Structure 1
Amino acid sequence: MLAVLVAVIAAVGVVAYQQFGPGEESSTVAATASTSSPAPTGSDGSAPSATDPSSTESSSPDPDAGEQCPTPSAGPATPAGWKSVTGKRGLAYDVPPTWTVQSCGTVIGWEKKCADGPFGFCPIRTMSGAATLESPACPKSTLADAGLPGASDTSDIMQAVRDESALVADIYTSDSGRVPRVQLSAPRRFTVGGAEAVQVVASVTGIETSPCQGPTALHSMVATTVPGQPGSVMFIIALPQGMADAVAPSIGDQMVATLRRIG
């Protein structure tokens, strides 16, 4: 199975942690916000087959959970019927009407098994300002994911994309250790709100398949800068391919075209 997609949902006094492997069901545990290492309490579905369904990543609540995201509103390039997604990093984008826009306090991302991580898992990448597309064929799984992570270590957008690209193989590596092949596109330069932006798309092949996971994926990575935000701000779209109901790559292109500055 692939690295697990984790949703951290911040609420008043409670944090819920959900595991999603692309094409897999989820497991959820909850703990009080004051608990740094929550104990598993059960699940609302089955986790990836190679993953203990009672295990999950230990994490702290989103430090910005109490903040409000700007009210979503359509932009000049928003297709008719699409939903707008905003985050806390000064950017917005749009998704098709069948997608779910996650709440402002929700952080999604990917984790992998590791010996020294809480409950045997370590995060690979997390992101807020998130939207997901649930799979009709595989309940409580996702066909696509998008979000707005930060890259505070560098304001060099090319370096930010290079750093992000280095995470792709881990994201799509199976629990059994099968490492996929990753081929990167040439950088595409454009602007977002007057600021330079760069996009690189990773074509991932040789992914270990399952009834709900195809053999390939497209992993789009955009980096730009936003006034008031440290370093770079990223826009990530993960589109597993080669299975029924897979999202067309053109949808990812349309989503990137809607990326805009807010505030």
Structure 2
Amino acid sequence: MRRKSSIEIGLELGGRYRVEEPIGAGGMGDVWRGVDLRLRRPVAIKILPAELAADESAVERFRREAETTAALQHPGITVTFDIDEHRDGHEQLIFLVMELLTGRDLGTVLAREPHGLPIESVVSLTAQAADALAAAHSRGIVHRDIKPANLFLLDDGRVKLCDFGIARLSDGTQLTAAGSFIGTPLYMAPEQFRGERLDARSDLYSLGCVLYELLVGSPPFDSGDNPAAIMYRHLNEAPAPPRSRRPDVPEHLDRLTLDLLAKDPAARPQSAAAVVAALRGQPDPGSSTVSTATTADWGPGHRLQSDVATRQDRPPATVEPSRPKRGRRAGVVAGIGVAVVVLAAGTAVALTWDKKAPPKPGPTPTPSTVSRTPQAETGPLVPGWKTMLAPQYGIAYDAPPTWTVKGPDYVIWFPDAKKNILAAEKGVAEIDRGKCTSAAAGLRGGMLSAQKPSKDQLGTLQYAAADEARKWASAAYGGAGAHPRPPTVSTGQGGNITLNGIDAAYTTVSVTTAPGGDACTPPHATVETIAMTSVPGSSSGPTFFTVFADRDVSGQVSSEEIKKVIGTIRPYTCPPGKRPQNDNTCR
């Protein structure tokens, strides 16, 4: 939770810059309109949030933004004038002074153009952005957060590249903590999600996402506020060609967009200058021939054949979320923890997991007590247990007799203070203790697809499982009332498992709650998540099965019982002649 700052209208920073009114927010601070009292000119002042000023890494990124942008002299890059500090009592403010821009960012422009912009405008805007990127890349600077909100359209039609708050020098200067990535998931390159070394081609992938959105009105992969689903799609799915959504898109622009969105950086254009040349029909700077705005020969490496083979002829199908029925606890305010993300226009977010190494493999949670005798499709694998059928996800699983198996359209969910739904699951079996739910299991995401995913897909699923488990831990066990503080979440066992013919990834996290929670929030808890491959093209990402349980409560669920529940996960399909519905029934 952000502390109240002493920033007020009329405040004079450093005895030179007067604050006048807030005008926006970026990944590294709020932006205010101000006046340079010495030179008598309007300026934009970005102020690092007070709670981040105590964070050395945040301060370092903020200072690096000043150094980075001050070194860039290009008409398409926002000019930086000054960086300074201001002390007000015990509070220290660090601020950046930049040129004041008049106009709108492209995020605002796109909000008014839900079907995309005119082709001529798209080409002009993208070429200007690529030209600015070429200047940054020539100085060894990777922006790492290219998105519509960071591209500002001036009133005279020029585009300015803004917010180098998370930029990184290509010499490998590291400004983020180990095991984390920073950016905006809707526009991030696959290698950025994997935490790999980034170069100019990562910015070009993000530029491809922007180009795609300028053409059709929405990003290539949009999964609502589910960062794990967005990550999964960027890593595994090819986007629908823009021409399939907007037939008047020229073929060469369609090809350029798809080449920018290649999963393999080597298959993308190798420089921003090459993108500019293709857009403007000029000679490619890296070639002796004249560009005809095609992308067949971008440089070393060509478009991956797998990308071409998996491109769809139509937009991905979407699955409408069901309406939440109830919350786990009355009056819960879920703290937004390390990996819980609510995406908002113009806001960069950080998703974090323990990435020192893949989680150490633990024992496959398929206990010897599971019956191996043939069962009816809807019967339990563990004698005496109850079966939960979830055809919407292509899954069935068993729950102990002390658990309550809920109806097919029942949803367990957690809201934040603004009533945003941070996590929700269907196919729920749970233990209710009065107003509290002390254990629950359920499903979310897409429908089960390949039961034998590739090695690369399993690697992606490991990260998705870790992200999902941490999100659920933070949402379900955040503080309540006046202390909405996130819990401490630590990763335990994890790895790849096989469950009744399904190859999947799993992660176990331990939760220690912050002081100040309500009576339903115990001091400790466990969350386990299984991530499975879903139907290609699903907007809901992997198929997730998550089970959580309170610790240090009366009659608590044992770890062995949780493993038995997980060990019963199996494929389930509707009877012949019926199809799965979004309300988790077969009709």
Per the normalisation by structure 1, the TM-score is: 0.65
The alpha carbon displacement at 1:181 in A equals 0.9
Higher helix share: 2
SS at match of 1:185: strand
Distance 1:166 1:97, change over 3 A: closer
Which residue, out of 242, 247, 251, partners 2:557?
247
Which residue, out of 498, 513, 524, partners 1:191?
498
**What CA distance in whole angstroms lies between the structure 2 residues aligned with 1:236 and 1:247?**
15
**What CA distance in whole angstroms lies between the structure 1 residues aligned with 2:415 and 2:408?**
21
Distance 1:242 1:92, change over 3 A: same
**What CA distance in whole angstroms lies between the structure 2 residues aligned with 1:158 and 1:16?**
28
Q: Give, as a single letter, the amino acid of the residue that structure 2 aligns with 1:150.
A: G
Which residue, out of 385, 398, 414, partners 1:110?
414
Q: Give, as a single letter, the amino acid of the residue that structure 2 aligns with 1:188.
A: G
Distance 1:83 1:187, change over 3 A: same
The alpha carbon displacement at 1:130 in A equals 1.0
- Kindly indicate whether the alpha-carbon contact (under 8 Å) linking 1:151 and 1:160 is maintained by their aligned counterparts in 2: no
Which residue of 2 is the match for residue 122 of structure 1? 420
- Kindly indicate whether the alpha-carbon contact (under 8 Å) linking 1:200 and 1:221 is maintained by their aligned counterparts in 2: yes
- Kindly indicate whether residue 565 of structure 2 is the aligned counterpart of residue 258 of structure 1: no
Which aligned runs of 4 or more in structure 1 are off by greater than 6 angstroms? none
Q: What does 1:171-210 align with in structure 2 at a 5 Å threshold?
A: 171-175=476-480, 176-208=483-515, 210=518
Which residue of 2 is the match for residue 142 of structure 1? 437
The alpha carbon displacement at 1:179 in A equals 2.2
Higher strand share: 1
**What CA distance in whole angstroms lies between the structure 1 residues aligned with 2:526 and 2:478?**
14
CA-to-aligned-CA distance 1:91-137 (integer Å, 9 cap, x gap): 111101111111111121222213xxxxxx111111111111111xx
SS at match of 1:177: coil
Amino-acid identity (%): 25
The higher radius of gyration belongs to 2
Which residue of 1 is the match for residue 32 of structure 2? none
Distance 1:180 1:151, change over 3 A: farther
The alpha carbon displacement at 1:171 in A equals 2.9
- Kindly indicate whether residue 391 of structure 2 is the aligned counterpart of residue 81 of structure 1: no
Q: What does 1:1-263 align with in structure 2 at a 5 Å threshold?
A: 17-21=325-329, 26=330, 47=331, 73-75=378-380, 78-87=381-390, 88-114=392-418, 121-135=419-433, 139-150=434-445, 156-167=460-471, 168-175=473-480, 176-208=483-515, 210-226=518-534, 230=538, 231-263=541-573
CA-to-aligned-CA distance 1:181-200 (integer Å, 9 cap, x gap): 10112423112353321110
**What CA distance in whole angstroms lies between the structure 1 residues aligned with 2:532 and 2:333?**
37
Stretch moving more, 178-187 or 202-211: 202-211
SS at match of 1:250: helix
The alpha carbon displacement at 1:17 in A equals 3.4
Distance 1:16 1:203, change over 3 A: closer
- Kindly indicate whether the alpha-carbon contact (under 8 Å) linking 1:145 and 1:239 is maintained by their aligned counterparts in 2: yes
- Kindly indicate whether the alpha-carbon contact (under 8 Å) linking 1:226 and 1:261 is maintained by their aligned counterparts in 2: no
**What CA distance in whole angstroms lies between the structure 2 residues aligned with 1:147 and 1:108?**
8
SS at match of 1:97: coil
Q: Give, as a single letter, the amino acid of the residue that structure 1 aligns with 2:445.
A: G
Distance 1:199 1:49, change over 3 A: closer
**What CA distance in whole angstroms lies between the structure 2 residues aligned with 1:97 and 1:229?**
37
SS at match of 1:149: strand
Q: Which runs of 5+ in 1 are unaligned?
A: 1-9, 27-46, 51-70, 115-120
Distance 1:17 1:91, change over 3 A: closer
The alpha carbon displacement at 1:229 in A equals 8.2
The alpha carbon displacement at 1:174 in A equals 0.6
- Kindly indicate whether the alpha-carbon contact (under 8 Å) linking 2:332 and 2:414 is maintained by their aligned counterparts in 1: no
Q: Give, as a single letter, the amino acid of the residue that structure 1 aligns with 2:533.
A: T
Which residue of 2 is the match for residue 30 of structure 1? none
CA-to-aligned-CA distance 1:9-38 (integer Å, 9 cap, x gap): x8xxxx7832332xxxx4xxxxxxxxxxxx
SS at match of 2:463: helix
The alpha carbon displacement at 1:81 in A equals 0.9
Distance 1:106 1:170, change over 3 A: closer
Q: Give, as a single letter, the amino acid of the residue that structure 2 aligns with 1:239.
A: A
Distance 1:166 1:126, change over 3 A: same
The alpha carbon displacement at 1:206 in A equals 3.2
- Kindly indicate whether the alpha-carbon contact (under 8 Å) linking 2:333 and 2:478 is maintained by their aligned counterparts in 1: no
Distance 1:222 1:48, change over 3 A: closer
Q: Give, as a single letter, the amino acid of the residue that structure 2 aligns with 1:127.
A: E
Q: Which runs of 5+ in 2 are unaligned?
A: 1-321, 335-375, 448-456, 574-587
Distance 1:173 1:49, change over 3 A: closer
- Kindly indicate whether the alpha-carbon contact (under 8 Å) linking 1:74 and 1:84 is maintained by their aligned counterparts in 2: yes
* RMSD across aligned positions (CA): 2.9
**What CA distance in whole angstroms lies between the structure 1 residues aligned with 2:377 and 2:431?**
18
- Kindly indicate whether the alpha-carbon contact (under 8 Å) linking 1:90 and 1:262 is maintained by their aligned counterparts in 2: yes
**What CA distance in whole angstroms lies between the structure 1 residues aligned with 2:408 and 2:513?**
34
CA-to-aligned-CA distance 1:38-89 (integer Å, 9 cap, x gap): xxxxxxxxx4599xxxxxxxxxxxxxxxxxxxx97225xx222100011110
